[in-house]
Structure 1
Amino acid sequence: MQNNLNIITRKAERKHCRIFGKVRYLTKEVDVRILDMSVTGMAVEIRAPIHAASGSRVQILADDLGTLHGIIRWTHNGRLGIQFDPNSNARAQVSSYFRFFHKEVKPVLTR
Structure 2
Amino acid sequence: MSGDDQSSRRRHARLETRMFAKISNGMKIDGAMVQDLSMSGIGLEMHSTADQEPGNQVEIHCGELGCINGAVRWVRPDRVGIEFAASSNNAAKIAAFFKHFKG
TM-score by length of 1: 0.79
What corresponds to 1:109 in structure 2? none
Structure 1 residue aligned with 2:43? 43
Alignment gaps of 5+ in structure 1: 104-111
**Structure 1 residues 86 and 58: alpha-carbon distance in aligned structure 2, compared to 1, 3 A threshold:** same
SS at structure 2 position matched to 1:32: strand
Q: When you count helix as a share of all residues, which structure comes out higher?
A: 2
The answer as to whether partners of 1:30 and 1:50 remain within 8 angstroms in 2 is no
Distance change in 2, residues 1:73/1:88 (3 Å): farther
1:58: how far off?
0.1
Q: CA deviation at 1:26?
A: 1.4
Unaligned runs of 5+ in 2: none
| Moved segments of 4+, more than 6 Å | none
Give me the identity figure in percent. 28
Other-structure match for 1:95: 95
**TM-score in terms of structure 2 length:** 0.84
Q: Does the Cα contact within 8 Å between 1:65 and 1:97 map onto a contact in 2? A: yes
SS in 2 for 1:93: helix
Query: How many residues of Structure 1 are paired with residues of Structure 2 in the alignment?
Result: 98
Tell me if the contact between 1:28 and 1:50 (Cα under 8 Å) persists in the aligned partners: no
Identify if the C-alpha distance between structure 1 residues 98 and 87 changes in structure 2 by more than 3 Å, giving closer, same or farther.
Answer: closer
Q: 1:29 to 1:35 in 2, by over 3 A?
A: same
